[in-house]
Amino acid sequence: MAHDPTPLVESLLHEIAGLLADLAATGQGARIDLLGLPIGPAGRAALAERLGRGEVEAALDAGGTSEIWETGFAGVWWVRHFGADDRLATEQIEITTVPTILLSQPEDIAIAASRLAAGLAQHTELPQ
Amino acid sequence: MMDPDSIGALLARRGVSRRALLKYSTRLAALMALPAGSAEALADGLARAKRQSVIWLSFQECTGCTESLTRSFNPTIENLIFNIISLDYHETLQAASGTAAEAARLAAMAANKGKYVVVVDGSVSTRDGGVYSTNAGHTNLEILRQTAADALAVISVGSCAAFGGIAHARPNPTGAEPVSAIITDKPLINIPGCPPLPEAMAATIAYLVSFGKIPELDHLRRPRSLFGDSIHDRCYRRPFYDRGLFARSFDDEGARQGWCLYELGCKGPVTYNACATLKWNGGVSFPIQSGHGCLGCSEPDFWDQGGFYRPLSSNTTSTGTVVAAAAVGGVALGAVSALVARRRARLARQETTP
């Protein structure tokens, strides 16, 4: 006998709708941690089907891979981070304009700038 | 300018990007049930902090807690915890032994006086001065008191350190006691379980390092974010409990259908832990998903609660605490457990009536 995920999925969709309205009105984002809910694979699949796919998909490789896509509802993102052996480490619904993890981080930018400058200096040194 | 001794600088030297740290922090923030936006604050706090000196003391234990922490953190984001802490003393993991090992502990204590964290796994023998468990010629009791004296905080990992565990089970020949019975003047966090979830250990330590304070705790000093819900509340078999559908043996039709394991002794209704959501072995499964009831290993005296395969409702141990909690939980959660308890009591009376 399979557990019917429908009530939980409906409840989640109502929560997402409320948070999305907040984002539209105030710019305030939110996250829902799916791994903290007893939703199961069937529930995830049902939720994914209801939310659909939107215009953006991204793949990350930073300390393991990540899958990120905007759902069919602008501002609602599905974010999956994987750890070792491609095991799911985090799965969240983010209600935001763009997930922070996709942005280049200031610290990484500073290091990259130094690295690029050093590489160019080395490359342009004239042979003695 | 980044402090060259900070965790952020260390990670950068090791080629770990801030984005990877943010990803790790996202997981930790989810584990600690922190509000949206906390992942960024957590990552920032970790990056600015210096590596936390940790002295790990192992007493009357089985090394399962260390196994849980180390075996579960394979390369990629999970092993970042070992970049966040400086494990200055750990009998099982360190290369040094004998006098050199003890010297390392004393040196770490002196170098980080008032700043180091003591992690303890295992209970502490107290009978006859604690002579039943010694190390390097000193009792566990002595070593704990000496090491904790100048600690910032103490974390008891595993049910033995937190509640006494198996060594504390009746008749408790060594006078085993939890750390909290001995160290009473330091901030103390319990992360029970037999073993505890590795994520619970890592997230608690990372929170401490990043925010410089202990997380919110429950009445048993467990992080509320990780131990706030019962196994039962988060169990995927809960709908069967609510409908009164129970497996009555491990191979009956109910078991095959995946029904609730309450009548087979599951202690989920009175056990607070995150196994049902985080699961084990990288999120593969947890005992109930594998067809076995919860043993209640993150609760005090779980070993002495009347038998792993006896339903909560039939528990008749001298403490009576579990059966009371089960009945109350049953009322709150649909009265099923209390009804079962009454039914069993009626049957018991019929059996004993001549």
| B352 or A82, which is more confident | A82
**Residue A6: band (very low, low, confident or very high) from pLDDT cuts 50, 70, 90:** confident
Q: Say which range, B47-61, B170-184, B311-325, has the weakest mean pLDDT.
A: B311-325
CA separation for the pair A20, A14 (Å, rounded)? 10
Q: Is A103 helix (H, G, I), strand (E, B) or coil?
A: coil
**What distance in Å separates the CA atoms of residue B203 and residue B29, rounded to the nearest whole number?**
8
What is the reported pLDDT for B313? Answer: 81
Chain B: nearest CA to A67, how far in angstroms? Answer: 12
pLDDT at B162: 98
Q: Which structure tokens are listed for B337?
A: 């457990």
User: Per the CATH hierarchy, to which homologous superfamily does domain A6-124 belong?
Assistant: HupH hydrogenase expression protein, C-terminal domain (3.30.1370.140)
Tens-digit pLDDT profile for residues A18-49: 999 999 999 999 999 898 787 878 889 999 99
What are the backbone angles phi and psi of residue B190, rounded to the nearest 5°?
-100, 130
Count of A-B CB contacts under 8 Å:
99
Which tokens hold the place of A108? 């990484």
Q: Does A112 touch chain B (CB under 8 A)?
A: no
B134: which strand partners? B139
Local structure of B188: helix, strand or coil: strand
| Confidence category of residue B1, pLDDT binned at 50, 70, 90 | low
Torsions phi, psi for B147 (to 5 deg): -75, -35
Nearest CB among B2, B40, B282 relative to A100 is that of B40
Quick one: CA dihedral A96, A101, A102, A106, positive or negative?
positive
Reduced to 3 states (helix: H, G, I; strand: E, B; else coil), residue A76 is strand
Q: Which residues pair with B85 in a beta bridge?
A: B52
pLDDT at B354: 37
Is it true that the peptide bond before B300 is cis, omega within 30 degrees of 0?
no
Q: Is A30's Cβ below 8 Å from some Cβ in B? A: yes
Query: What's the rounded mean pLDDT across residues B56-66?
Result: 93
Q: Is the pLDDT of residue B353 over 70?
A: no
Write out pLDDT tens, residues B230-269: 999 999 899 899 999 999 999 999 999 999 999 999 999 9
Domain boundaries, chain B: 52-209+216-224, 238-352
Average pLDDT, chain A: 89
Query: Mean pLDDT in chain B?
Result: 85
Structure tokens at B281: 């072995």
Say how far apart CA B265 and CA B306 lie, in whole Å. Answer: 10
Q: Binning pLDDT at 50, 70 and 90, where does residue A128 land?
A: low
The verdict on a CB contact (< 8 Å) between B23 and A37 is no
| C-alpha radius of gyration, chain B, whole number | 22
Residue B75 pLDDT > 70? no
Could you read off the pLDDT of A102-113 as tens digits, one per residue?
A: 999 999 999 999
What is the distance between the alpha carbons of residues B324 and B142, in angstroms, rounded to a whole number? 38
Report the percentage of chain B scoring pLDDT > 90: 54
Closest CA to B1 of B50, B51, B44, B48: B48
pLDDT above 90: residue B326: no
CB neighbour list of residue A24: distance below 8 Å, 6 or more residues apart: A75
B78/A89 CB distance under 8 A: yes
State the architecture of B238-352 in CATH terms.
Answer: Irregular (4.10)
Q: B52-209+216-224: what fold?
A: Rossmann fold (3.40.50)
Q: How far apart are CA B97 and CA B94, in angstroms?
A: 8
Q: Which residue has the higher pLDDT, A31 or B353?
A: A31
Can you give the pLDDT at residue A127?
A: 63
- Residue B60, beta-bridge partner list: B123
Confidence of residue B317 (pLDDT cuts 50, 70, 90): low
Q: Does the pLDDT at position B108 exceed 60?
A: yes
Does the beta-carbon distance from A111 to B12 stay under 8 Å? yes
For A47-98, how does the pLDDT look when each residue is reduced to its tens digit (9 = 90+)?
999 999 999 999 999 888 999 999 999 999 999 998 767 778 889 999 999 9
